[in-house]
Each structure stands twice: as C-alpha cells, then as structure tokens.
Amino acid sequence: MKNVKIGILGFGTVGAGVVEGIINNGELLAQRTDILPSIGKIADLDIESDRGVNVDTSLLTTDALSVINDPEIDIIVELIGGVTIAKKFVLLALEAGKPVVTANKALIAEAGRELFEASAKSGAGLYFEASVAGGIPVLRALRDGLVGNQIQSMYGILNGTCNYILTRMEREGLDFDTVLADAQKLGYAETPPDLDIDGDDTAHKAVVLASLAYGAPVPMDAFTIEGIRGLSHREIEYADELGYRIKLLAVIRNVDGQVEMRVEPALVPKDHLLASVHDSFNAVFIEGDVVGDTLYYGRGAGRAPTASAVIGDIMEAAAGTGGSCKWLLQNKTLPVRGADEISVRCYLRLSLKDQPDAIADVAHVLGKNNISIGAVLQKEQNLGEQVPVVFLTHKALEKDFVAAMKEITELTVVDGKPVRMAIEDFE
Amino acid sequence: MKNVKIGILGFGTVGAGVVEGIINNGELLAQRTDILPSIGKIADLDIESDRGVNVDTSLLTTDALSVINDPEIDIIVELIGGVTIAKKFVLLALEAGKPVVTANKALIAEAGRELFEASAKSGAGLYFEASVAGGIPVLRALRDGLVGNQIQSMYGILNGTCNYILTRMEREGLDFDTVLADAQKLGYAETPPDLDIDGDDTAHKAVVLASLAYGAPVPMDAFTIEGIRGLSHREIEYADELGYRIKLLAVIRNVDGQVEMRVEPALVPKDHLLASVHDSFNAVFIEGDVVGDTLYYGRGAGRAPTASAVIGDIMEAAAGTGGSCKWLLQNKTLPVRGADEISVRCYLRLSLKDQPDAIADVAHVLGKNNISIGAVLQKEQNLGEQVPVVFLTHKALEKDFVAAMKEITELTVVDGKPVRMAIEDFE
C-alpha cells in the first residue's frame, strides 16, 4: 500500500467536496488502487468558515506556498479558479516536480501552452479531467479509450446553466430573461451571467477538448463564439414544430485536414441523443474514425460531480501514470478552418411585410449567394403588416450567409433584425 | 519512443480490424503515447483466407504456442472466442508474464476468477475493455474516472442484436419472428440466435461490469436471466401508449449492501436516455455516490468499434499501466440479493373474460399478495370473450409477484398465459 499526501489550494465548494470524497471513500480507493490518499494541507484565504466537512484545523493554512513547498506533500490540487494566481501556483508546483490536478478550464484554455511546456520540462504530470464536463470522464475517454482513433468530430453540451435555461424555456414556455432571473435566484446561474450565457465558458471547455483531440494548445480565438443571450422563445417554438430542440453546442470538426471550431446555439434533431440532454446535464458526442459514434453524459458541474473527477485525477497522479503533456504540444500550429469557410445548414427567421413578392425577394437573395432553400414555414398570422417566415437552408458557406444576411436586412420587405442559427445534422 | 510487438491469436473479423487500426493509425498512436505498436505474429487455423488487410504472410502461423512463446512478442491479444481454448492460451500467456488483451466476454464471465488469479500471481496485466459494450470505454470509466465512487447502480443495453430487433419491432410494427429472421438474413443476428435473444450474452457482459464495480469475480448464476424471445408486438404497443419503450436491460443495483443482478426485458420511460438508444447501439447508465448519474453510449460490437477498444487496451498494456486484477479479487463472496427479495414495479398483461368481476378478481389476488395497482388500462376491444387488460403495479417483492402470478393464472376469469415485465424507474 502506497500512501500519498494531497495539498489542496482553494477550499471552496469543490475543495470541500474533494476532502469529503477522500474521507468517505478512502478505504474503497485504497482497495481499488493499492494507494491510500490523505489530505496533507489545505490553503485558503479563509480558514475560518465551516465547509461542512470534518477537517483537522491544523491542516489549514493561508499560505499556498507552504503547501507547494512542503516536502511531505506529493500532489497539488488547484481549486482556486481564475487564471493569474492559479497559474502562478500551478507553475511553481510543476517546476518543483509535483504533479498538479486542476478543475480550472479557464486556466487550461488561456494558459495551456505555458503549463503544458512546464509539465513537459519537469516531467511532473498535469491532470485536468474536471475542467471539462464535470464528473464525466470524457477527457480520459479521448486520451485512453479512443487513443487509436483520429477524432472526426465532437459536439458538446458543456454549460449546465445554458442547458438549464433552454430546458426550462422549452418546457415551461418562458422567456429567456424570466428563466435567467429565476436561475440566478436559485443559484443555477451566476451574477453577472455573462461567462455562461455568452458562450465563453463553453469555449474554454471546447478549447480543452480540441487540444486533447488534436495535440495542440488551441488558442481561444480559434473559436467563433455565440451564446444564447436574448434567445427568443419564438425560436424554440418554431424549432419544436420543425422537429428540433435548441442547444448551446461546442462544435469541433475535422474537415479535410482543417479543424472547424465554433460555439453557438444550434438546432438539434429531436431524435439525436444530444436533444435528450436536459436540465443542467452535460454531454459530449465524439466520433472517431475507428469507433464510430460515442456519447458521454453526466453532471457538468457542482461540488460532488467535480470532486469525482478531481479524485480520479488524484489517483492517477498518485499512480504516476497519465498526465504527460507531450502530446498536447505535438501540433505546434493546428490548421484551423477560417470562419468564413465553414459550411452549415441554417435556420432563418424573418419578419416579412405581408405582400406577395416578399418570399420571392428573400429567395432571390439567398439564391444569388449560393444558398438553396430546403423548407419554408409561413404560419397564417395576424400581426398587422408583419408575417414571421422561417427558412431552413441546405448547406452553404458561412461567408455566403454573411453576405446574404446583409442584403436581406436591407430588403424593403424585411422588418426588424433577422434571426439566424445553425442546424446540426451530425453528418 | 518505445517499440512493442503484438501477438494476435485469432485472425477473424476483429483481429483484422485491430491489424488495420494499428497500420492506419500507428503514427498517431506513437505521437500520442510515445509507444509504437507493431504486429509481431498472428496465429489462426486459417492462414489462407484474405481478410482485406495487408499483412506480410511471414507473420502468419497456425501455431498459437509459437506466438505466446516468442521472446520478441510483448503482448498477447486473444481474439479466438469461446472459453476452452481461449482460456488455455490466456493462462499460458499470463503465466509466461505476458500481458493479455481480450475481447472475450464469455471467457471473463465464466473463467474470470481463474484468470484474475493467474494475472495477480504473475503480475502480467489482463485487459478486457472490448469484452463489454464494444467500442465504448466504459470499463475504464468505471475503473479510472469513477474510481472515487461507490457504484450504486448500473443499467446496460449490452446486446446490439436485441436492441436492433426491439427497435425495428417498434418502428415498423413487426413481429419478433419476422424481425429476427430478417436480422439473421442481414447478418445482424447469429444462427442459432439463442445466446443473444435469450439474454446470456447480456449476462456475460453484466458479470464483467459487476465484477469491476464491486471487486469480485461474480458467478453467472448470480444473475436471473430472461431474454426477449417471442416478445409480442402487443407489449411494445401498450408500453408505447403508457409512455415506455421496451429494452433488454442488465440491471445491477446495490441495495442495502447487497447487489441485485438481473437481465430482463423492461419498460423504460421514454424520456430516459436509455429509451433513446436505438438500433444496434449499446449504452451503460452508471450511478455513483459522488458523481451522480452518468451514461456511456456507442457501438457495442462490430469489427472497427471492437478493434478501437482492443487497441486502447494494447496501448495501456504497452505502457505497463492498468491491468491489475487485485481489486477484482477483493470481495471473495459478493453479497448477492436473492431473486425473491428484489423489489420491482411490474407491467402485467392479462386476457380477461369480458365479465364484470374480472378486474376485481385480479385486483383481489394482487392485493392479497401485497401488490398495489398504480394504473389499469383496458381498451374497448372486440376479441370475442377476451379483453386484454394491462396493470401497472407499484413496487413489490418478486416473491409476491411469483405467488400472485400463480394464483392469477388459475383464476377462471383469466385466459391464456399472463405477461409480466419489470418497469424501471431508475430510482
């Protein structure tokens, strides 16, 4: 039996969950792995508050450096969050040759290259399963189970707050703002909610997934990012009628040797498993060239699910396996497909003046821009002069959509701002 | 860069897939892991047939022992199938200190203890990800990602043939026999189909899942096993009306310190993800005490998906990590919940004589046996004297159901054989 001592930096919700998990299931961990983990030290600025776990107060310190530098501590667990301070401590630990476990997606997404290089240099492993999709062991699946696969595509529902909002909008017929306010009241959404609802949190996680799949520290700006802020309930209703649900998706696709990366609200066919991921759950759909389609589902955040992933990483770090960052530095510059060159199907909703040539005018602009129409949905409505019309297009280039939308907005038959969203067919 | 040489026993469909995967993605594997696998030798009784992969014929031999005993061969991959011969070769390899990768669920299920002991004794790892749910890296999820979790329950759709049959029966309104015959013609079902449709294949895989979750070589007879042979299309229709789909499920649940294990066709609520697993796909739903609900989905069989899992195992064996069988021998005797003591909700379909007291007679027998009724569905039909009536019960003990069904069958108002199936609420 090997004993390992854990030093925890950041004693917040997840930190307390990790301590609790190791206390409750320590014996099981030892039986399963022949390694007994124990808490060596915990650093936090606040060492007074009660976290609801029973910790010997002598383990608590406000001095993170004393944890990193303690020769009795074998593994550092970074649960501080944010980038600046967390990065400093993680680099110090790696340079000291101590493996680091972190749940910090912003850190990996924004400072990945620097951390991977520090890890590769010192040989101390860096483990970050908990940074993507919480308790779902999806990074391990990518790294180990699917190691023999070229990754053709990944589609992720990676932000529980957005999925919770979309689920409630759909189920209860509520507005975006109403659900967001309620989610904030219930603690399911932060105040301000920007990182979640504008897609940045999803992009952070998508960067980590893409890095691992393609062996490159992917820069954030490789992604086009659109969130769900202000999404109209009308889109959810039309999508429903047309056989789709709206999900905030991270899309990562290998197309002709280039990687296409985007975060956006998209229409997902109801019979696809991702359409059945409700509430605050996360899921990642991964297509490999050998294995075909696979999917991984679970809780994407929260004290216990995140702790589950952190503990998994701790045990791997303790065994001295995994954690190598060499592969992550293979592809020095990942070939990224330019946003304009991405080919998508789209949902367009326009408010048209109720006059005979309106649809023809729009169809003409689309056609001129190499966009063909797959379906048109016009409901008989009486909104004075405006009639909402939904177009579903065939696949076309993003740059053609951009040009067409500019022209369409200027048409005299079009009122207000058109709405455009991608339709994902997972092909 | 480390070089490892693979010896393959059994050059069938999966064997050819493994060779192809290693040839096609060998460079990628080396970049990802710093290990370059290559095929050292391949043994099969038939070394003449074309498998559609380009292999140097000098690697082929009919002598499996010469592969196992070749000092140049680092890892043995067993893809022979069956138990007797496969077991002999796997034991010889383990005794020779060579790690073994196998896709053989029957072997692990039926000879697990012997193999685990041989592996634990020699220290050579035994890897069997491909034995359960094909390409889905679910055993690794259980072993590594969820290592910090007590496994509370697992529900698996583990047999692609059965799921294909059930999906087509549901979608096309066809009979069991019609779909089975068609599946056999298309190569989706074996002839004879018994191992698949009678539930044994599912039970083999469930034994492996339970062994890994609870650290014990679980005997096959710990499972009650019922397949889908002869399932009437009527059940699928009634289930649909009541909001359920029928799936052949492996159910493994930790109830009050005892493990309940069964394989049976069950009603799954349509809004549960497992109800959206269609065609020949597999999925495993795993609930851990820390992580909560998770799900893993993908292709459960076939040349490429199985090869994906075998290659993942080969790389792990090559790295010299994982593969320890010590945990699998922890629980010498797993506390198994007796079949009679299992508590389930049930769907009952009876053919009742069209007379006023019929339902009351049945309800009386159920009540007397401590079974309360949640819903009754009686459709106005005209089948002469018989009226099909469906009862959905609340939870009750299996032994009470057995007693009640015996009495119900003997009631004069009941015609024909009653149908009983479990309803899974995943609670």
pLDDT at residue B221 greater than cutoff 80: yes
Cβ separation B291–A309 shorter than 8 A: yes
The answer on A352 and A284 residing in a single domain is no
Strands A100-102 and B224-225: unpaired
Active-site residue (options: B41, B87, B98, B205): B205
Residue B247 lies in a domain: yes
Rounded distance, CA A413 to CA A360, Å?
Answer: 10
Residue B320 lies in a domain: no
pLDDT at residue A341 greater than cutoff 80: yes
Q: What pLDDT digit, counting tens, does each position of B117-132 carry?
A: 999 999 999 999 999 9
How many domains are there within chain B? 3
Residue B317 lies in a domain: no
Chain mean pLDDT for chain B: 96
Q: What pLDDT digit, counting tens, does each position of A354-369 carry?
A: 888 899 999 999 999 9
The answer on B360 and B284 residing in a single domain is no
The answer on A235 and A359 residing in a single domain is no
Crossing angle of helices B200-214 and B105-122, in 10° steps, is: 30
Residue B324 lies in a domain: no
**pLDDT level of residue A210 (50, 70, 90 thresholds):** very high
Chain mean pLDDT for chain A: 96
Single out the residue in B131, B151, B179 at which a domain terminates. B131
Distances (CA, A) of B250 to A327, B31, B219, B242: 38, 38, 15, 22
Residue at B4: amino acid letter:
V
Any idea which of B211-215, B281-285, B356-360 has the lowest mean pLDDT?
Answer: B356-360
Q: What are the DSSP E strand ranges found in B291-403?
A: 292-299, 343-353, 373-378, 386-393, 396-397
Residue B332 lies in a domain: no
Mutate to test the interface with A, among B34, B129, B147 (most CBs of A within 10 A): B147
Q: What pLDDT digit, counting tens, does each position of A44-87 carry?
A: 999 999 999 999 999 999 999 999 999 999 999 999 999 999 99
Cβ separation A296–B294 shorter than 8 A: yes
Residue A309 lies in a domain: no
With 0.90 as the threshold, say if the pTM is over it: yes
The answer on A245 and A114 residing in a single domain is no
The answer on B354 and B284 residing in a single domain is no
User: CB–CB of A118/A95 below 8 Å?
Assistant: yes
Q: Give pLDDT, residue B187.
A: 87
Q: Give pLDDT, residue B385.
A: 72
Cβ separation B150–A32 shorter than 8 A: no
Q: Which residue has the higher pLDDT, A328 or B356?
A: A328
Range of the domain at B41: 2-131
pLDDT at residue B379 greater than cutoff 90: no
pLDDT at residue B425 greater than cutoff 80: yes
How far is residue B261 CA from its own chain's centroid? 12
The answer on A178 and A101 residing in a single domain is no
What length does chain B have? 427
Single out the residue in A95, A113, A131 at which a domain terminates. A131
- Chain B CB contacts of A170 under 8 Å are none
Q: Give pLDDT, residue B383.
A: 58
Strands A2-9 and A35-43: parallel
pLDDT at residue B184 greater than cutoff 70: yes
Residue A406 lies in a domain: yes
The CATH number covering residue B181 comes to: 3.30.360.10
Percentage of chain A exceeding pLDDT 70: 99
CB nearest to B292's CB, from A145, A304, A322:
A304
- Find, in chain A, the residue whose alpha carbon is nearest to that of B139: A145
Tell me the catalytic residues of A.
205
CA distance B423 to chain A (A): 20
The answer on A156 and A60 residing in a single domain is no
The answer on A188 and A277 residing in a single domain is yes
The answer on B345 and B291 residing in a single domain is no
Single out the residue in B131, B152, B167 at which a domain terminates. B131
Distances (CA, A) of B412 to B18, B152, B305, B358: 60, 43, 53, 9
The answer on B275 and B147 residing in a single domain is yes
The CATH number covering residue A101 comes to: 3.40.50.720
pLDDT at residue A427 greater than cutoff 90: no
The answer on A357 and A231 residing in a single domain is no
pLDDT at residue B382 greater than cutoff 90: no
- Chain B CB contacts of A34 under 8 Å are 324, 326
The answer on B271 and B157 residing in a single domain is yes
Residue A324 lies in a domain: no
| B88 in active site | no
CA distance B406 to chain A (A): 40
Mutate to test the interface with A, among B136, B290, B315, B316 (most CBs of A within 10 A): B290
Which pair of tokens denotes residue B25?
């993605």
Q: Give pLDDT, residue B59.
A: 97
